[in-house]
Amino acid sequence: MTTALITGGNRGLGRATALALAGAGLDVVVTYRVHAEEARDVVDRIEALGRRAAALPLDVGDPSTFPAFRSALRAHLPDGRLDVLVNNAGSALYRGLDAVTEPEVDRVVAEHLKGPLFLTQVIADLLADGARVVNVSSALTRITLAGSGPYASAKAAVEALTRYQALELAPRGITVNVVAPGAVPTDFGDGHLREDPQLQEAVTQSTALGRLATPGDVADAITGLVTASGSWVTGQRIEASGGLRL
Known catalytic residue: 151?
yes
The pLDDT assigned to 187 comes to 59
For residue 94, pLDDT over 70 is answered with yes
Q: Tell me the β-bridge partners of 55.
A: 30
Read off φ and ψ for residue 11, nearest 5 degrees. -155, 170
Yes or no: say if 137 and 14 are a contact pair by the CB < 8 Å rule: no
Which residue in 32, 94, 151, 164 is the catalytic one? 151
Q: Tell me the β-bridge partners of 57.
A: 32
The confidence band for 198, taking pLDDT boundaries of 50, 70 and 90, is: confident
Length of the chain: 246
Q: Taking the mean position of all CA atoms in its chain, how far away is CA 157?
A: 15
pTM strictly above 0.85? yes
Yes or no: say if 214 and 241 are a contact pair by the CB < 8 Å rule: no
Yes or no: say if 88 and 17 are a contact pair by the CB < 8 Å rule: yes
Q: What angle do CA 68, 135, 62 make, to 5 degrees?
A: 30
The pLDDT assigned to 200 comes to 85
Q: From the CB of residue 138, how many other CB atoms can be counted at a distance below 10 Å? A: 26
Ranking 123-127, 144-148, 199-203, 224-228 by mean pLDDT, the lowest is 199-203
For residue 81, pLDDT over 90 is answered with yes
| Helices within 24-114 (DSSP H only) | 36-48, 66-74, 102-109
Instruction: Give domain 3-240's CATH number out of 2.60.120.380, 3.30.70.580, 3.40.50.720, 2.30.140.10.
Output: 3.40.50.720
What would the pLDDT profile of 120-175 be if each residue is shown by its tens digit?
A: 999 999 999 999 999 999 999 999 989 999 999 999 999 999 999 999 999 999 99
- The enclosing H or E element of 88 equals none
For residue 70, pLDDT over 80 is answered with yes
Please state, in angstroms and rounded to a whole number, the distance separating the CA atoms of residues 107 and 184: 22
Q: Taking the mean position of all CA atoms in its chain, how far away is CA 234?
A: 16
Q: Tell me the β-bridge partners of 238.
A: 179
The mean pLDDT of 209-224, rounded to a whole number, is 96
The pLDDT assigned to 131 comes to 98
Please state, in angstroms and rounded to a whole number, the distance separating the CA atoms of residues 90 and 60: 7
Q: Longest Cα pair distance anywhere in the chain, in angstroms?
A: 51
- Mean pLDDT computed over every residue of the chain: 95
Higher pLDDT, 202 or 237: 237
